[in-house]
Structure 1
């Protein structure tokens, strides 16, 4: 598997895939730095920054990024040899599929963690905004977990129907993610995969309200609401991830290319 991963990573050399992975965190930080530098710093600024950052990242970057990364990685194989070289590889089909999926997961995870790291360290060093690191990184991890089923789904779609379909679904996913962040999604988000990253990441923001000196945690935490909501999101996310991975591997074992080429 390590040889497959090295090979997959080398394929991204001189492509837009690496730019899509490492550039968005810096662009988002620059825009947030400009925006918050023009505002008065208050006790609520950190909470506002947390909410704005993870809403943008989970509602825009993750849905569209999942479609783009998966579509581009698969499209490379189509352009290189119309999938022939990829399919007749010496490695088992299962390992080839899982290698692609693992690379997509690593790229998406690194991008999310890098964006979070740049945000918290940048504001901690440059601005006067006090930053609590733990809730931010906990939210990043929740966002990654919530995005895993989407990444597995988009890889399957990319192989089956191509890059256009993957990107198109990602665009529709942005709309669903935005809707899941509103009151409309309060009761249905556990059943909508595009709602998992934004809702799971947002739950950890409650811990920003728990400041030293408080006699008891905020009611959202002490009542068990946050724990219950996490379970409601994590359980279906894990089940769908397993279904997507197992189903994708089984399907890929028999796949012989998306279409006939003249």
Structure 2
């Protein structure tokens, strides 16, 4: 199939960059830092899991900004989008290949981050009290929430360059940190960079007189219900952006400054 050949070519293009190292090293470093801290922290097990998932959600926009800019800048250096704009395969399928490449690697990296933490927290620190199913569902929710961000940053990288993508990623990470607070109540469902961290937090609750921010797992169905509007908006926004991105790229002829 054409799409598989294009994806294979795109993966090969990134072979001599730090693209793969970022997707492998960042999760591993994050796991080691958090497990190292949790080995002596007096916080509760639930609070530790919530803290790790929050940290994961906060760093995602920055990483997405970096990797999307790397993929697009590689095309720019290779021939100023010559291959992406080629009529041999069609613009649409070339763009789809880029999207799938970053999504595949993003899901791999996220699975490594969550799975690695689960293994370390369960079998090394022996502090885990949550089922594997919980980690699996949260992994899928976090990934679903990031698809919109990936599409947005690919567009930014193509239209404006790596600086815009990375800069926006930093802003999104900082802004999503504010959305964790009461400032985000009632509006987070409509803000893409807030979806991931709020999806996670809505599965946790706080008992009275507790020093931890979150120290109890909410009823699973309740967590899904609270997230329902956010999930709906996430799906609708992502589909709309994907369609608009595809239409826009169909008319894209290269950057004017290039």
TM-score calculated relative to the size of structure 2: 0.89
CA distance in 1 between counterparts of 2:24 and 2:226 reads 31
CA distance in 2 between counterparts of 1:156 and 1:3 reads 23
- Output one character per residue of 1:91-117: Cα deviation in whole Å (capped at 9) or x when no partner: 111101111111111111111111011
State the partner residue of 1:20. Answer: 22
State the partner residue of 2:7. Answer: 5
Q: In the TM superposition, what is the alpha-carbon distance from 1:90 to its structure 2 partner?
A: 1.6
Mapping of 1:1-262 within 5 angstroms? 1-40=3-42, 45-59=44-58, 61-88=59-86, 90-132=88-130, 133-205=132-204, 221=219, 225-261=222-258
CA distance in 2 between counterparts of 1:129 and 1:227 reads 25
- Output one character per residue of 1:41-91: Cα deviation in whole Å (capped at 9) or x when no partner: xxx6321221111111101x2110111111110010011111123322521
CA distance in 2 between counterparts of 1:227 and 1:140 reads 14
Contact 2:84 2:95 in 1 (8 A): no
Could you tell me which runs of 5 or more consecutive residues in structure 2 were left unpaired when the two chains were aligned: 208-215
CA distance in 2 between counterparts of 1:91 and 1:111 reads 29
Contact 1:112 1:140 in 2 (8 A): yes
TM-score calculated relative to the size of structure 1: 0.88
Distance 1:10 1:205, change over 3 A: farther
Q: In the TM superposition, what is the alpha-carbon distance from 1:204 to its structure 2 partner?
A: 3.4
Contact 1:8 1:100 in 2 (8 A): yes
CA distance in 2 between counterparts of 1:131 and 1:23 reads 27
Contact 1:150 1:194 in 2 (8 A): yes
- Output one character per residue of 1:184-222: Cα deviation in whole Å (capped at 9) or x when no partner: 11111011111001111223346xx9xxxxxxxx99538
CA distance in 2 between counterparts of 1:219 and 1:111 reads 25
Q: In the TM superposition, what is the alpha-carbon distance from 1:257 to its structure 2 partner?
A: 0.5
Q: Which has the higher helix share?
A: 1
CA distance in 2 between counterparts of 1:94 and 1:156 reads 13
Contact 2:84 2:91 in 1 (8 A): no
The alignment partner of 1:83 has SS state of coil
Residues paired across the two proteins, number: 247
Could you tell me which runs of 5 or more consecutive residues in structure 1 were left unpaired when the two chains were aligned: 210-217
- Output one character per residue of 1:4-25: Cα deviation in whole Å (capped at 9) or x when no partner: 1111111110211111111111
* Structure 1 outlier segments of 4+, above 6 Å: none
The alignment partner of 1:128 has SS state of coil
- Output one character per residue of 1:168-192: Cα deviation in whole Å (capped at 9) or x when no partner: 1111101111011111111110111
CA distance in 1 between counterparts of 2:148 and 2:18 reads 23
Contact 1:46 1:130 in 2 (8 A): yes
